């Protein structure tokens, strides 16, 4: 990989066809006093349009650091990260914020909704930062809530919603600016098994029907089975990168599970 | 992020902690309220003094006979016998900046009417006295130059004398006895109130020809003072110089000698009081504005706490695309909204105080729109100044660490 010629940020015409995520020999280390702690030691990976990748690995394997870099929350110490052909390491903070806002949708383990703020207003939030007009914002937020099956809960506060519903609001929020990539960091970590499958059903639907590229961090094997490809991290390196063979369909799994909620 | 959305977010954050927000704004409320009330109080005092001086006549000069030093005993003003009516006539004749002059001399006496009696000041003067002091009559007529020539027993009484001697009857045409002499009351003065300079009741007085006082009461030939009216307020300084020149000349006073008279200029007095009340107003306002600054520090304190408490919220906002500017603007707006709300409530409470002070304490107030405007601008400035650092701190947070913050 080190011998690969460096590609300059691509021109607009190529962007349409540019690979959503290309990571080239990325290292990340932190200075702790005199010692240098390596989190990533030379990661190279390419994620194509419409892929559904599960990133797996034990804690400390570097998968969270990898996700932070993919999400433009953190930059690599060395190496390159091209997001839709744009070299992210060349961008300033304001441009990074714009990328997080428009190109990437985030879903977190702890939902991270704003409390005392309705589902609709939570979903609307990224559109506010994208300076979209209020009318357009509300219609997009409603559309996104409908997509995750929460059209009737728009005026509810997070405290009035179940964990699964809160995570669906968070997914609606991630979708409101119509990003090409959805990054989900342990999205089922705080959910029971049936709700987890429900969330995965939404992910699969978004991936199939809207061609959304999804990168999902999880340490649960049965959750990873809903993805199309799995990348396993270990000690800051990619240990395994393979297609998932017995891919499960969440909608089918749900039929076999007994109803617990609602 | 558009302004309305930013303000809405700020209002929601403020509403989340109602008690805390109220307490935080309290500093600004007290500051703005105090500035408005204190300036209103200071300006009220200033206006009252100005009105009273204007009522006295700002172009009035007072010529008093001087102090004297007899064998080491220094006597107060009005004790020299050198100011006489010819001096008054000379001032009238020779000073072009002077429009009117009235001789004055005084005494005090017991006035008797029927079964009532009253001890009061008697001012012996000339008819022009009332014009110089801009003091109209309520009833009856003024005495005339003829009365002065004949030292007639006529009296014009002040309102306090009327109240004490004639609680029911019409005083005009009645006869009172002063030192056993009968005097006909020919006029009643309008109410003048208490004087600014001396603080005494100006209505507790009886006016009559100066000749009557000289011949029938004091048995003297000299005067205690003369009231002078200059052509205008501006001319009063020229008039002062001319009067001093005329009197020094007539009294043969040469350079090293002290004057045996003095001239007090009301324009001087007015300026002096104006300066004093302005200083008082500024002093009150600056003490009050200290609490505005204290209020600002309160806002800064709470905003810093708020930034720490909402670290996670800041992380979420940054992760979904808020720039540093967005976060900074959000917290700055919150601080400004807090201080402006405090300012608005402060204006209301300042106006309420300005309304209550004259009714409860009886002090005059004059509400200043300038003070209100300055208080509002100041409260915005306090919000921006004391909100900037916490907002900057919020904007500088690392999104990854902020998201991990519990």
Identify the sign of the CA torsion B242, B246, B247, B248: positive
- Determine which of A70, A91, A112 to mutate to test the interface with B (most B C-beta atoms within 10 Å): A112
Residue B64 lies in a domain: no
Which CATH number belongs to the domain containing residue A169 in this structure? 3.40.50.300
B158 in the same domain as B110:
yes
Among B259, B280, B299, the domain boundary falls at B259
Give the DSSP H or E segment for A213.
strand A213-217
Q: Is B249 exposed, middle or buried (0-12, 13-18, 19+ CB in 10 A)?
A: exposed
How close, in Å, is residue B321 to chain A by CA atoms?
Answer: 4
> Would residue B68 count as lying in a domain?
no
Cα of A4 to nearest chain B Cα, Å = 31
Chain B nearest-CA distance from A62, in A, is 15
**Is A260 within the bounds of a domain?**
no
Average pLDDT over residues A97-120: 90
Same domain (yes/no): B208, B89: yes
The answer as to whether B213 is a domain residue is yes
- How many domains would you assign to chain B? 2
pLDDT given at position A13 = 42
Asked if residue B78 has pLDDT above 70, the reply is no
pLDDT value at residue B196: 56
**Is the pLDDT reported for residue A14 higher than 50?**
no
Query: Distance from A76 to chain B by nearest Cα, in Å?
Result: 14
B206 is a domain residue: yes
Residues B253 and B303 placed together within one structural domain of the fold: no
Pairing of β A181-185 and β A35-47? unpaired
In 3D, which of B322, B406, B16 has the Cα closest to residue A109?
Answer: B406
Test the A interface: residue of B319, B396, B402 with most A CBs within 10 Å: B319
Helix (H) or strand (E) holding B56: helix B18-56
CB within 8 Å: A116 and B12: yes
Enclosing domain of residue A194: 19-254
For residue B19, the enclosing domain spans: 3-52+272-404
Q: Does residue A262 lie in a domain region?
A: no
ipTM above 0.85, yes or no: yes
Within 13 Å, how many C-alpha atoms sit on residue A26's CB side?
30
Same domain (yes/no): B251, B276: no
pLDDT, tens digit (0-9, with 9 covering 90-100), for B243-279: 989 988 888 887 777 778 888 887 777 778 888 888 8
- Residues from chain A contacting residue B403 (CB–CB below 8 Å): 73, 108, 112
Q: Choose one of B235, B259, B283: the last residue of a domain.
A: B259
Domain termination residue (choose one: B234, B259, B284): B259
Residues B251 and B280 reside in one and the same domain: no
Q: Are both B228 and B96 inside the same structural domain? A: yes
Q: What is the pLDDT of residues B300-354, one digit of tens each?
A: 999 999 999 899 999 999 999 899 999 999 999 999 999 999 999 999 999 998 8
Regarding whether B343 and B305 lie in a shared domain, the answer is yes
Residue B58 placed within a domain? no
User: Same domain, yes or no, for B251 and B288?
Assistant: no
Comparing CB atoms, the residue among B313, B319, B324 nearest residue A73 is B319
Least confident interval from A90-99, A100-109, B62-71: B62-71
Determine, yes or no, domain membership for A3: no
Could you report how far apart the first and last alpha carbons of chain A are, in Å? 51
Q: Furthest-apart CA pair in chain B: how many Å?
A: 105
Cβ separation A112–B322 shorter than 8 A = no
Q: A18: pLDDT confidence band, cut at 50, 70 and 90?
A: confident
Question: Does one domain contain both B179 and B286?
Answer: no
Together in a domain, B136 and B241: yes
The answer to whether A100 contacts chain B (CB < 8 Å) is: yes
Q: B357 lies in a domain?
A: yes
Counted domains in chain A: 1
pLDDT of residue B70: 57
């Amino acid at each position: 990989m080190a011998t690969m010629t460096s590609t300059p940020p691509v021109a607009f015409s190529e962007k349409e066809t540019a690979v959503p995520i290309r990571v080239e020999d990325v290292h990340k280390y932190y200075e702790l006093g005199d010692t240098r702690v390596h989190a990533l030691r030379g990661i190279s990976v390419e994620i194509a349009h419409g892929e559904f990748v599960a990133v797996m690995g034990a804690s400390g394997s570097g998968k969270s650091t990898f996700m932070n870099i993919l999400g433009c929350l953190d930059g690599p110490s060395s190496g390159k990260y091209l997001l839709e052909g744009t070299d992210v390491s060349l961008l300033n903070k304001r441009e990074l914020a714009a990328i997080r806002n428009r190109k990437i949708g985030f879903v977190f383990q702890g939902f991270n909704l704003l409390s005392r703020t309705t589902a609709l207003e939570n979903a609307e939030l990224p559109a506010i930062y994208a300076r979209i007009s209020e009318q357009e914002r509300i219609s997009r937020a409603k559309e996104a809530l409908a997509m995750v099956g929460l059209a009737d809960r728009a005026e509810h506060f997070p405290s009035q919603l179940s964990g699964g519903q809160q995570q669906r609001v968070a997914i609606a929020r991630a979708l409101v600016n119509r990003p090409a990539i959805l990054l989900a960091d342990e999205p089922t970590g705080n959910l029971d098994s049936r709700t987890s499958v429900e969330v995965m059903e939404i992910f699969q639907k978004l991936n199939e029907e809207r061609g959304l590229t999804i990168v999902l961090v999880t340490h649960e094997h049965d959750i990873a089975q809903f993805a199309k490809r799995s990348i396993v991290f270990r000690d800051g390196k990619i240990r395994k990168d393979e297609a998932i063979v017995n891919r499960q369909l969440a909608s089918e799994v749900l039929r076999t599970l007994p109803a617990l909620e609602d | 992020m558009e302004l309305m959305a930013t303000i809405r977010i700020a209002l929601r954050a403020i509403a989340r902690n109602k008690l805390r927000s109220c307490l935080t704004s309290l500093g600004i409320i007290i500051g703005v309220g105090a500035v408005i009330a204190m300036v209103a109080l200071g300006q009220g005092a200033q206006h009252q003094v100005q009105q009273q001086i204007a009522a006295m006549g700002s172009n009035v000069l007072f010529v008093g006979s001087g102090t004297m030093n007899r064998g080491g005993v220094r006597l107060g003003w009005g004790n020299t016998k050198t100011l006489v009516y010819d001096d008054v006539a000379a001032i009238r004749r020779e000073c072009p900046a002077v429009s009117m002059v009235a001789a004055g001399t005084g005494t005090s006496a017991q006035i008797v009417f029927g079964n009532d009696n009253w001890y009061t000041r008697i001012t012996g003067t000339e008819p022009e006295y009332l014009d110089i002091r801009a003091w109209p009559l309520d009833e009856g007529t003024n005495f005339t130059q003829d009365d002065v020539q004949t030292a007639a027993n006529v009296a014009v009484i002040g309102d306090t004398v009327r109240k004490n001697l004639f609680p029911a009857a019409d005083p005009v045409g009645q006869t009172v006895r002063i030192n056993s002499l009968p005097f006909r009351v020919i006029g009643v003065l309008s109410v003048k109130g208490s004087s600014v300079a001396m603080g005494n009741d100006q209505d507790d007085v009886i006016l009559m020809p100066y000749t009557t006082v000289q011949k029938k009461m004091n048995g003297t030939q000299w005067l205690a003072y003369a009231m002078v009216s200059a052509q205008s307020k501006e001319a009063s300084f020229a008039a002062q110089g001319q009067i001093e020149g005329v009197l020094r000349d007539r009294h043969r006073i040469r350079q090293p000698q002290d004057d045996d008279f003095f001239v007090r200029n009301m324009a001087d007095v007015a300026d002096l009081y104006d300066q004093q009340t302005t200083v008082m107003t500024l002093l009150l306002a600056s003490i009050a504005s200290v609490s505005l600054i204290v209020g600002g520090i309160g806002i800064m304190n709470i905003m810093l706490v708020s930034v720490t408490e909402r670290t996670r919220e800041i992380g979420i906002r940054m992760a979904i695309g808020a720039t540093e500017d967005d976060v900074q603007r959000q917290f700055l707006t919150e601080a400004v909204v807090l201080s402006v709300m405090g300012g608005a409530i402060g204006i209301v409470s300042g106006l309420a105080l300005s309304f209550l002070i004259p009714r409860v304490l009886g002090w005059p107030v004059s509400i200043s729109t300038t003070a209100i405007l300055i208080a509002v601008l100041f409260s915005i400035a306090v919000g921006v100044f004391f909100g900037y650092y916490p907002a900057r701190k919020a904007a500088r947070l690392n999104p990854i660490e902020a998201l991990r913050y519990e």
